[in-house]
Structure 1
Amino acid sequence: MKKYDVYGIGNAIVDIVTEVDHDFFDKNSVEKGVMTLVDEKRQMDLMKAIDMKKSRMSGGGSAGNTVVAVNQFGGRSFYSCLVAHDDLGKFFLEDLKRNGVDTLLTHESSPPGHTGRCLVMTTPDAHRTMNTFLGVNSFLSPEHLNESAILDSSYVYLEGYLVASPKGLEAIKEAKRIAEKNKIGVALTFSDPSMVKYFSDQMHQIVGASVDLLFCNDEEAMIYTGTATVDDARVGLKNLAKHFVITLGANGALIFDGDTFIEIEPYSVRAVDTNGAGDMFAGAFLYGITHKHSYAEAGKLASLASSRVVSQFGPRLTPGQAAKVMQDLMA
């Protein structure tokens, strides 16, 4: 039996979540609804234009959110990432420890510099727009992988955001190589439409001939396959992934289990913040399939869990909320 259900590799990001109105984007030349990489000065300028008294800080990062979710539902996970020897780095590592996620990183051994942070701007329509300063995440490389932890995992989970960094790209390529060589499942998340659109060549390098499990939303699926409808995109994805999940926002999700398509019904909620919804879906789904649940059962759990995330501010549930999801699912 493997020690870990999921070995994740991704950016270590501290989220700074705040609310803005729609006019803010035009006034400050921000592209709405996607993740944009920015330098430190640009991010600080945006923060000066926002009432930061109403902001909230939390551990984040796409794959980081996912491995935390795996643990909250009762699984075990390991996370390879990189933080700096600063207050935000200490905050991030304490957050991983509090959620039971294993890592080899320590605050004392972390390099100088700045820990990555993401300014998450939410609007009244519940959409999230992210401007991310990567900081030391740009230096995440194959040397930060833990091969023994990979070999003791059921799945390796690769964060698509890493394709934006040359060293990060090499790191996830190496993680995939180790996993495939040792017959360990490889799961990939496209992470954001901007990654698929602007780093398509790099993403092709990761997908390669195939991945075992792909997570994406409808927009990402259509961009990557060059199609105009989800129906066409799902046909194209069958040639790229053995199994895949296409999240459809308020319309639920579509899962391909290797043989058939499974439609996952949405849970009706009033969405206030969609930040972290896809990360939660992936975490709950990975927990499900590594604990003897069918793809349909895992999809139902993931749909309910992500509906709870979007009905509140922040990308994660508390352990108590995760337990309530499991309880409600069995009711």
Structure 2
Amino acid sequence: MVRKVVCLGELLIDFVPESNGQALADVPAFRRAAGGAPANVAAAVAKLGGASRFIGKVGADPFGAHLRATLEEAGVDAAVIETDEARTGLAFVSLREDGERDFLFYRHPAADMLLRSDEVLGAWLEDAAVYHFGSVSLIAEPCRTATLDAARRARELGALVSYDPNVRLPLWEHAEQARTEILEHIAIADIVKVSEEEIEFLLGLGLVEGARKLLQMGAKVAVVTLGPDGCRVLTTSSDIHISGVSVDAVDTTGAGDAFVGGFLYQLAQRGVSAGTLVDAVSDLVVCTEIFGFANRVGAITTTRRGAIPALPTLAEVEAR
């Protein structure tokens, strides 16, 4: 049985501007691109040549059909359910000159928010080497319960659990709700990936203190992204900085997801489990190989527009 990186959560359409440096209201033309953080991760793994599955729900509409086709074209096992209860989610993205983004979401509700626990088949989790989820699917029921129930089921089946808080405050009713809900589920994860800004928001602490707090809350490994400066990987016994990769960024959409896909691909390829995770990433050489690779995957993604369309192949990463 081929063990997969299994991702569950939102799958949506990103409308990305053709040029940078304009306010969202002033963008004259957008280009459609498949997106949604967990879907991006699944596609990143597949485009690198790994085995991945995405579990989610889309509307029974042309955008939903396009998203399923995009995942399948990328090589993802698309466990995508269609519904006529809501339409596929949309996100309009404005890109500043520095490549950073502003978002406007259409999710009132979106189809991905309606995924139910009983729709997540056991067979979709039984072959999981890794189960990955984010916080967007924790915002509303029934997807919140479906996400957490699948995490528990996957963990019981022996999967390593990965969690990306991926803070998107415009989607939450208020900031405190986001902070409370996101932190409540740290303990279910073996590995948590956050940015410096997310640590500050969630915990009001600096990088090292915040990462150590996440470990105290139950995570085995905290991965902190540092943008062009790379990342820090912390366990209770180690703190390793892996340098970043210098590129001319045009669009950071999906770069963090590409980074996650890069290190989950590496962990799955190496057969790292929840029981061996800490020892693996505490080794300087192994950690540098895994997360140096992930840094390159993320960096290459920023040199192209969109999320899934910008993801690199293994050959491109090795060439870098």
Task: Pick the TM interval, shorter chain.
Answer: 0.7 to 0.9
Pair 1:296-2:283 in alignment: no
TM-score (norm 2): 0.86
How far apart, in 2, do the equivalents of 1:306 and 1:184 lie? 24
SS of 1:289 mapped into structure 2:
helix
Query: Partner residue of 1:97?
Result: 72
Cα deviation for residue 234 of structure 1 reads 2.0
SS of 1:95 mapped into structure 2:
helix
Query: Partner residue of 1:201?
Result: 180
**1:275/1:253 CA distance change after superposition, 3 Å:** same
Query: Partner residue of 2:253?
Result: 275
Query: Partner residue of 1:253?
Result: 231
Pair 1:121-2:100 in alignment: no
**What code does the residue aligned with 1:119 have?**
F
How far apart, in 1, do the equivalents of 2:38 and 2:223 lie? 16
**1:16/1:4 CA distance change after superposition, 3 Å:** farther
Query: Partner residue of 2:208?
Result: 231
SS of 1:166 mapped into structure 2:
coil
**What code does the residue aligned with 1:237 have?**
L
Cα deviation for residue 197 of structure 1 reads 5.4
**1:166/1:204 CA distance change after superposition, 3 Å:** farther
How far apart, in 2, do the equivalents of 1:58 and 1:51 lie? 16
Cα deviation for residue 257 of structure 1 reads 4.9
Question: 1:272-321: per-residue Cα shift (whole Å, max 9, x none)?
Answer: 211111100000110011111833211011101111111221123567x4
**1:251/1:104 CA distance change after superposition, 3 Å:** closer
How far apart, in 1, do the equivalents of 2:142 and 2:86 lie? 17
**1:269/1:125 CA distance change after superposition, 3 Å:** same
Query: Partner residue of 1:35?
Result: none
8 A contact 2:34–2:306 mirrored in 1: no
8 A contact 1:159–1:189 mirrored in 2: yes
**What code does the residue aligned with 1:15 have?**
D
Cα deviation for residue 146 of structure 1 reads 2.4
Query: Partner residue of 1:311?
Result: 303
Query: Partner residue of 2:43?
Result: 68
SS of 1:103 mapped into structure 2:
strand
Cα deviation for residue 258 of structure 1 reads 5.6
Question: 1:73-128: per-residue Cα shift (whole Å, max 9, x none)?
Answer: 1111111111111110111011011011112336xx54353111111111112111
Query: Partner residue of 1:51?
Result: 28
How far apart, in 2, do the equivalents of 1:255 and 1:205 lie? 21
**1:114/1:79 CA distance change after superposition, 3 Å:** same
Kindly tell me the number of residue pairs found equivalent between the two proteins. 298
Across the aligned residues of Structure 1 and Structure 2, the Cα RMSD in angstroms comes to 2.2
Aligned with 2:135 (options 118, 139, 160): 160
Pair 1:191-2:166 in alignment: yes
**1:206/1:248 CA distance change after superposition, 3 Å:** same
Cα deviation for residue 66 of structure 1 reads 0.5
Q: Which moved more, 1:126-135 or 1:63-72?
A: 126-135
Gaps of 5+ in 1: 26-45
- Aligned identity (percent) is 22
Query: Partner residue of 2:13?
Result: 14
How far apart, in 2, do the equivalents of 1:285 and 1:257 lie? 16
Cα deviation for residue 129 of structure 1 reads 1.3
Pair 1:216-2:191 in alignment: no
Pair 1:141-2:119 in alignment: no
**1:7/1:162 CA distance change after superposition, 3 Å:** same
How far apart, in 2, do the equivalents of 1:113 and 1:192 lie? 24
Query: Partner residue of 1:36?
Result: none
